[in-house]
Amino acid sequence: MSMPFGYASPEQIMRDRAEYARKGIARGRSVVVMQYADGILFVAPNPSKALHKISEIYDRIGFAAVGRYNEFESLRLAGIRYADINGYTYNRSDVTGRGLANLYAQQLGMIFTESIKSLEVEIVVAEVGEEPERDQIYRLTFDGSVFDEQGMAVIGGQAEAVSGRLKERYSEGLPLAQALDAALFALTEPGGERPAPGQLEVAVLDRNREHRKFLRLAGPRLQRLLDEIVAPPAEPAPAPAPETAPPIGPEGEIDTGSGE
């Protein structure tokens, strides 16, 4: 029996769909989600102030996504509905990141197998616990696979390269400024310039906050954090060679901030 015209094997269809989704996701910029001393940090280069890639789902749960905005926005809204209705039906502590990750996995998996086009999104569901050991970071891909990440996750763009750079700087229990520094280092291509504060979307799930742990860091608060990075007390500035240094300030000792 000859194959009918236009036949494509299921393997081929799945491969094509996956290829299509991967290309779409890789086009954007990466998003970094990582643990720091007091919780979980989200960093995304995002010039828009209104179209968020990072958002709050529930008291302890945050959401980050890359890919097509309309697609991950509908996932985000559905997640909020799921969380709010469960928290209202039972108790606020009964809403878990794991439950939400499973819900997303089902939906993503179903769309991947049943629709012509899979969702071109990759998302992270992160939940902050009472102690760092109970923090959870789940990464979900377009086909509904769930990855329980340890300490950090990178989605979208050149995820592998960014993830490699992040591993260089990452360690457990970094203070917030250092964690942000590591994330920005990872998000910047070697030799490239770091994104300006106005081009950054930064948020934390801070376990020390009351009620709702999610907090966006923007404006002066973000600027203060970035300033902490720019003036680190660690390395003393190298003494400039007198003959080549341009006149940049008054005579006298340069205050390196090291207190010497």
Partner 1 sequence: MNNLFMNTGSSSFTEFLGAHAPDLLPIRAQALAAPVGDQIPHATTIVAATCAGGVVMAGDRRATSGNIISQRDIEKVFRADDYSCMGIAGTASTGIELARLYRVELEHYEKMEGRSLSTEGKANRLATMIRGNLAMAMQGLVVVPLFAAYDPDRDGGRIFGYDVGGGPYEQRLYHSIGSGSIFARGSLKKLYRENATPEDTVLTCLQALYDAADDDSATGGPDVTRKIWPVVAVITADGFRRLSDEEIAEYVQGMLDARMTDPDGPTAPLR
Per rule CB under 8 A, is residue 90 in the interface with partner 1?
no
Which range in 73-81, 145-153, 155-163, 181-189 contacts partner 1 by CB under 8 A?
Answer: 73-81
3-class secondary structure, 199:
helix
Taking CA atoms, 8 is separated from 13, 15, 143, in Å, by 7, 11, 20
Q: According to the binding rule CB under 8 A, does residue 139 interact with partner 1?
A: no
Q: Which stretch binds partner 1 (CB under 8 A): 47-55, 147-155, 181-189, 233-241?
A: 47-55
Using rule CB under 8 A, residue 50 touches partner 1: yes
Sign of CA dihedral 192, 196, 201, 207: positive
Q: Which of 14, 18, 80, 218 binds partner 1 (CB under 8 A)?
A: 80
Shortest distance (Å) from residue 160 CB to partner 1: 30
> How far is 2 from 106, CA to CA, in rounded Å?
36
Given the complex with partner 1, which of 1 and 50 has the nearer CB atom? 50
Binding status of residue 23 toward partner 1 by CB under 8 A: no
What whole-number distance in Å separates Cα of residue 57 and Cα of residue 247? Answer: 52
Residue 190 vs 211, nearer CB to partner 1: 211
Site of tokens 């990178």: 154
Q: How many CA atoms lie within 13 A of 209 on its CB side?
A: 14
Q: Under DSSP, is residue 117 helix (H, G, I), strand (E, B) or coil?
A: coil
Q: Which of 30, 35, 46, 55 is close enough to bind partner 1 by CB under 8 A?
A: 55
Among 15, 27, 98, 212, binds partner 1 (CB under 8 A): 212
Q: Which of residues 107-126 bind partner 1 (CB under 8 A)?
A: 107
Query: What number of other Cβ atoms are within 10 A of residue 227's Cβ?
Result: 11
C-beta atoms surrounding 113 within 10 Å: 14
Residue 85 lies near partner 1 (rule: CB under 8 A): yes
- The first and second tokens of residue 115, run together, are 């629709």
Interaction between residue 52 and partner 1 (CB under 8 A): yes
Which of 8, 27, 88, 240 binds partner 1 (CB under 8 A)? It is 88
Looking up tokens 């999610």 gives 214
User: Site residues (CB under 8 A) for partner 1?
Assistant: 50, 52, 55-57, 74-75, 77-78, 80-82, 84-85, 87-89, 103, 107, 211-212
